């Protein structure tokens, strides 16, 4: 069965410092992986997706993630945090024959301090 584990429930950074949100996946097949962001009282928004075309995936708002098969990881990074990045972030995997059935991790709450 497919699953993702987000290693940190909370991450706090200062504005202007790098962001690292960690995610490990479990999959019997080549996975489809995503990162979603959820701001308070707003819908989930797709940040980026891994489609097996390139291991380094660039997303919106300066975020990127690197697929590492040997480590079964798909960590999300950003070089410099902005106050507006404060939100809940979800690592997501989809089922191999049902790519539209999304399986979410438990989320990482990112706090950004001035």
Partner 1 sequence: EAGVAQSPRYKIIEKRQSVAFWCNPISGHATLYWYQQILGQGPKLLIQFQNNGVVDDSQLPKDRFSAERLKGVDSTLKIQPAKLEDSAVYLCASSGEAGSAYGYTFGSGTRLTVV
Residues paired with residue 90 on neighbouring β-strands, in sequence order: 36
Asked whether the beta carbons of 35 and 29 are under 8 A apart, the reply is no
Min CB(38)–partner 1 separation in Å: 9
Q: Which of residues 15-34 bind partner 1 (CB under 8 A)?
A: 32, 34
Of positions 68, 71, 101, 111, contacts partner 1 by CB under 8 A: 101
Q: Binding of partner 1 at residue 67 (CB under 8 A)?
A: no
How many beta carbons lie within 10 A of that of residue 65, not counting itself?
26
Min CB(16)–partner 1 separation in Å: 29
- The C-alpha atoms of residue 81 and residue 63 are separated, in whole angstroms, by 10
Asked whether the beta carbons of 6 and 105 are under 8 A apart, the reply is yes
Binding footprint of partner 1 on the chain (CB under 8 A):
32, 34, 41-46, 49, 90, 92, 94, 98-107
């Amino acid at each position: 069965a497919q699953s993702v584990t987000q290693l940190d429930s909370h991450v706090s950074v200062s504005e202007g410092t790098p962001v690292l949100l960690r995610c490990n996946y479990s999959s019997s097949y080549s996975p489809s992986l995503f990162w979603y962001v959820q701001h308070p009282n707003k819908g989930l928004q797709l940040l980026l997706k891994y489609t097996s075309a390139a291991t380094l995936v660039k997303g919106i708002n300066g975020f990127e993630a690197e697929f590492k098969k040997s480590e079964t990881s798909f960590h999300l990074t950003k070089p410099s945090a902005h106050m507006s990045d404060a939100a809940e972030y979800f690592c997501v995997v989809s089922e191999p024959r049902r790519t539209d059935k999304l399986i979410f991790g438990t989320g990482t709450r990112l706090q950004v301090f001035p």
